[in-house]
Amino acid sequence: MQEMRMKFGEKPLAVITGGSTGIGLELGREFARAGYDLVIGGQDEGKLAAAAAALRGEGAEVVTVAADLTRPEEVERFHREATASGRPVAIFCANAGVGMGGGDFTETDLHSELRLIDLNVRSQVHLTKLILPAMAARGEGRILFTASISSMMPGPFESVYSASKAFVHSFAEALRNEWADRGVVVTGFMPGPTDTNFFHRAGMDETPAGEGKKDDPAQVAHQAFKALMADRHHVFTGSLKTKVQGLVTNVLPSPALARVHRGMTEPNDRRAARSGGPGAAAIAGGIALAAVGVAAAVGVGRRSRALEEAE
C-alpha cells in the first residue's frame, strides 16, 4: 500500500465499480480526462489490467481492486483497498451490476437472481454506507448511480433485474434529497440498451432488445458524467430514441409500459409461438404514438433540452 501512496498524487480520486468494461470503463475515461486518479473494481483481473492500461493512457494513475461484490466481506475489502492511500473519495460511481433474463420467472435460476440482488441492490447500499460518511464529514463529494430505463417500468422476462434497478433509482433520489443542502451531490442515470456484454451475460441474445441496435457506451458515459457534474438528479442517457422512451415512461400507465417492455425482452421463440400478442410493429407503433403525446405534453423547452443532451 505504500507504493500506492507514492504513485497517487494530488489529483482528486474517483472510485468506479464495474470499471473494467462497458459503461464503467467509459466513465473511467471521462474522469481520467477531467483530471482524476482512479480506483476501478471488477471480478476479472485480466480485464482490470487491460482497463487500467487504457486509462493510464488518458493520464490517470489507476489502482485496480478485484473483488466479488456479491459477498459482504468482499465489499468491505474493496472499500479498504480503495481507500488505503488515505486520499478522500471525491467521486463514487456505483456502476457494478448484472442482468438476468431469457425466460419467465419460473424458468430463470433462483441462485443467479439472488446473486443479482446481492450485487445490484445489497452491495450498492453496503458500499455507499461505507463511502458516504466521509463525504458527509467533509461536506463535499459526488455519487453516481447506474440505474436503467428499465427502472421506470415493469420488466416482464427480466422482472428481478428491473425491480433491482427501480430500487437503485429510488435509493439515489432519496439520498439526493437527504444531502442536497449538505454538499454531497447524488445523481442517477438511466441508460437504454447499450453496446456492452450485458445482453449476452443476461441470456438475452435471442430477444428483440438483444438483437436490436444499441447505444454507444462512450456516449452514455459522457452524458452521465455531464449530469453528475451539473448536479442533476437523474438523466436518461444515450441516443435520442432512448431519451424519448424515457419521457414515455412518465405518461403511460404501468400495464402499458409492461407491454412495451415485454416487446423488447420476451424471447423470440415465445413471441413466434404466441398468437394474438403484440408484434414488434405494434410495439413500435405504440411507442411512436406515445412519443407524439409526450412531445405535446412536455412543451418546446423540454424537447429542446432533450435534443441538447443528445449531442
Nine cell digits for residue 59: 493520464
DSSP string, 169-235: HHHHHHHHHHHTTTTEEEEEEEE-SBSSSHHHHTT-TTSHHHHS--B-HHHHHHHHHHHHHTT-SEE
Does 36 qualify as catalytic in the annotation? no
Contact 82, 65 (CB under 8 A): yes
Strands across the sheet with 37-42, in order? 62-66, 37-42, 13-16, 89-94, 141-146, 184-191, 234-237
From the candidates 161, 167, 179, 225, which is the catalytic residue?
Answer: 161
* DSSP result, the chain: -HHHHHH--SS-EEEETT-SSHHHHHHHHHHHHTT-EEEEEES-HHHHHHHHHHHHTTT--EEEEE--TTSHHHHHHHHHHHTTT---EEEEEE-------SS-TTTS-HHHHHHHHIIIIIHHHHHHHHHHHHHHHHT-EEEEEE--GGGGS--TTSHHHHHHHHHHHHHHHHHHHHHTTTTEEEEEEEE-SBSSSHHHHTT-TTSHHHHS--B-HHHHHHHHHHHHHTT-SEEEESSHHHHHHHHHTTTS-HHHHHHHHHHHHS-HHHHHH-SSS--HHHHHHHHHHHHHHHHHHHHHHHHHHHHHHT-
Active-site positions read 161
